[in-house]
Structures are given as C-alpha cells and as structure tokens.
Structure 1
C-alpha cells in the first residue's frame, strides 16, 4: 500500500514537472517567435511599409506582451500613419492606437521618456492641449535638463492664449492684424489668458 502511494506521488510529481517543462518550452518558443516578428517589423518599417510593419509588431506583442521594443515600434508605426490636422475617425484612431501602446510601455516602464514624449506630441497634434501639457510636464520631471518639453509647454500656452484673441476679433469683425480696442473685451481676455501667459514664461525660463 505504501509503495502504491509512493508511486502515485512520484507520478504526480513527474506529470507536474513535465507540464512545467512544456510550458517553459512554449514560452521560450514564443519569445523567439516574437523577436523574429520584431525583426521583420523593423525591416518593413525601414522600408516605409508601415501597415506591414504594424502587423509584424502586433504579432510580436501578442507572442510576448513584455517585449517593450515591439510595443515602442508598434506605437511609432501607428504614429507614423497619423496625419496631423486631418480630423477624421480613421486618422484619430491611428493616434489613439499609438497612444495606447505608449501607455502600455509606461505601465511596465514608467520612466520611459520616449513614450511620455510620444504621447505628448500626439496629444499636441490632436489639439488636446491640456493632455499634451500634462505629458510634457512628466517629461520635464524625468529629464529636467531637456529644454524641448519646456518649449513645447510654452508653445501650447501661447496657442491657448492666442485662440481666444482671434475668436474675439472675429466676433467684432476685425482682421487678425487689427488691434483690439474694446476695453471690456481686453479686460476679459487678460483675465482669461494671464494663467497661460505666466505658465508659458515660467516654462521658457526653465528651458
């Protein structure tokens, strides 16, 4: 009886070991296949075959979700397909897919500055200015000596203060180059834009 129980235990151990070995082998194979897809994707990307590259990178990510280079390349390939200024569902989807992949990288590597700046740039091009500023500020936290994010914040602040001025000129029937003389409008704009202006000056001083 004791021998029988011992044999059963031994068999169970062998089965567990065999399953574990099979799983490790499969995982190892998937990682190799993922790297192969990554390499193929890089070649397609270099040849400007972005849709083909995206397919390879997606397969690489599917095979090995932790392969950050594949996610970065996938995000970059999506971003490459995005056309700034073209406000269409398909075009915006490209940007969103790129942002999603950059965010997946940040879940695994919160200090990946390329992902942070990639998201910031896409939000800027999509005119999601507050989101863009938030990520450019994250970039300044990761690398305080990089002047680019500070300049980008200042540009966004200038844009956010410029648009209301143009809107008020249009309401008053003024040309873009004509000065605003309505004191009430000027006071309202000054109050509305003072935060942007001060924030922009602060960013430039840090650049």
Structure 2
C-alpha cells in the first residue's frame, strides 16, 4: 500500500468514527430531551393539565418512541379529556386515541395486565358513542372467549357491551348456542331479556321473562318468575311512561296482569303478586277509553288490594305470635338455668 493510500484510509476511518460519535450523540440527546418532556408531562398530568400533558408526551415519543411509560401515560391523559358530546373533535376522539396509545404500550409490555384491563374499560366507556370501538371491543371479547370459553371476565365484558350498545341481535346470535345446549337456562334468558329491554325491544324482553317462567318446573319458583313478569311490566309503565303509549301500553299492562294471575294460581296467598296485579289494573284504567272499562279495572284493583291487605295482616299477626312464643321459650330457659 502506498503512502498516499494509507493516508486516505486513515482519513476515512477517522471520518467514520466521527460520524458514529455524532450520530450516537444526537440519539443520546434526543433520549435525554424525550425523558425531560415526559417528566414535564407527568407534572402537567398530576396538576390536571391534561392537554398540556398530551403535548409533552407526544413530543417525547417523536424524539424517542421507547421513552419509558410514555405511551401508557399518554393513554391515561387522553382518557382524562374524553367527552363524547364535546364540540371539540379532540375530546370526542380522545377515547379512541387513548386505546391506540394503550395498544402501543402493550406491544412493548404484553404482560401488563392492569393496563390491558384499563384499555378494555376505556373501550367499554366509549363504545356506546363510537361504533368502531364497539365493534373492535366485541371482536376482542369474542376472541378471548374462543381461546378460553370459561373466561367469565370476558363474558361479562361482552354482556356489558351488548347492554350498553343495545346490540340485541348480536347477543341473540352469541347466546343461541348456549340455549341449544341448555334450553331451560333461565339465567341466559334473563340476560337476553335485559339486553332486549335496553335495546328498546319491550315485547322481546317480556317474551324472555315469560319463557323463564314457562320452562321452570318447580311450582313456587315458576310463581316467582311469573310475578317478575308483572313487576317488569309495572316498573316500565310507571317509571318510563314515555316508552309505550296507547295500545302498546295497554297490551303490556294486560300481559303483566296475566302473569300476576298465573303467579297467584301457582302460589297460595301470594300477596305480592296481588299487589302488583292491583297496580297494573290501576295502570290499565288510565289507558281505557270507556268509563265502564275504567270502573271495572278500578273495582278489580280494589278487590285485590283488600285481599292482599288481609293476607299481609295475617302474616304480621303470625310473625308477632312466633316472636312471642320464642320470647317465652327463652324466658323459660333462662328461668331453668337460674333455678338449676
């Protein structure tokens, strides 16, 4: 090798080393600056300055995507400003942005279960207002159940999603396989009744509540379940009167009365069912268009009220007598100990 070539090689190696040092130096500088910004973001977050915190975390991650916990804290900050009805787009989109940040954190820390749970709760909170997040959450929960059919937590997440997002048809498809295996599963039927009600499908809800009673063989339990149909009907008509009007309201009152009557036949002196049948007759009277029908409903309600009152009076008397006998027995035992 000539002297000139040697000098060129030395110069090249020197330049390569210098370039490496400069590159490393810039990287180190970015990391230091990113961590400083992350700390400032943490300070803003603690003082509830969430939008400022978001800015700092975003800047830190641009400089160094591996800034410790920056994605996690960014997710928390986004969720803190989430307002689905806000006139600001950032606040409306904040839950979706929080989920994205949590996802990036979990890519780096797949075993961080507490963060995974918070991500799920973020999706559930936003799902009723964001159809894309709702679909994403539903897919995640179904995947969890495919991997582990006994994952009760995933099942509960899915039920919550069905209820909050009013996804009755999706729920029906999901639970149909359970009812095929266990046609008399009254717990699944109750879940479907609740989801149907929350989805605005009152008749579907009544049908499921009614079916629960029909498939139950134990007579006392059957009576209780028919009674629950009556309580559902009255609670809806009384506390949510705007949901049903006219003929639909009358039909629901009729179904509630019929259910209470069935309960009264199955269980002797069922005062509670009598009370609700009375209340439902009074409700039906409000929807009647003819005076004769209103008078008839009011009379039926009065008769049931009197019967229920008499039964409840007898119960109170029996309970008082029982307590009296127990007190006498205790006094007798105490007297025996003292004389002994």
Would you say the 8 A contact 1:41–1:52 is kept in 2?
yes
**What are the residue-to-residue correspondences of 1:1-207 with 2, within 5 Å?**
2-83=2-83, 85-86=84-85, 89-126=89-126, 127=128, 128-135=133-140, 149-159=154-164, 160-161=167-168, 162-165=194-197, 166-169=199-202, 174=248, 178=252
Would you say the 8 A contact 1:44–1:50 is kept in 2?
yes
* C-alpha distance in structure 2 between counterparts of 1:180 and 1:134, whole Å: 40
Change (3 A) 1:66 1:7: same
TM-score, with length taken from structure 2:
0.44
Task: Report which structure shows greater RCO (CA 8 Å, sep ≥6).
Answer: 1
Question: 1:152 Cα shift?
Answer: 2.6
Unmatched tracts of structure 2, length 5 or more: 169-193, 203-242, 256-340
Question: 1:34 Cα shift?
Answer: 1.0
Change (3 A) 1:13 1:147: farther
Q: Which moved more, 1:85-94 or 1:44-53?
A: 85-94
Change (3 A) 1:72 1:180: farther
Would you say the 8 A contact 2:162–2:195 is kept in 1?
no
Q: Secondary structure of the residue that 2:161 maps to in structure 1?
A: helix
* C-alpha distance in structure 2 between counterparts of 1:113 and 1:98, whole Å: 16
Q: Secondary structure of the residue that 2:69 maps to in structure 1?
A: helix
* C-alpha distance in structure 1 between counterparts of 2:163 and 2:95, whole Å: 24
- What RMSD in Å do the two structures reach over aligned CA positions? 3.5
Residue by residue over 1:32-63, the C-alpha shift from the partner in whole angstroms, topping out at 9 and shown as x without a partner, is: 11111111111111111111111211121111
Indicate the structure (1 or 2) with the bigger Cα radius of gyration.
2
Change (3 A) 1:113 1:180: farther
Q: What is the aligned residue count?
A: 178
Change (3 A) 1:148 1:37: farther
Change (3 A) 1:138 1:37: farther
TM-score, with length taken from structure 1:
0.68
Would you say the 8 A contact 2:58–2:74 is kept in 1?
yes
Would you say the 8 A contact 1:74–1:101 is kept in 2?
yes
* C-alpha distance in structure 2 between counterparts of 1:124 and 1:172, whole Å: 32
* C-alpha distance in structure 2 between counterparts of 1:33 and 1:90, whole Å: 26
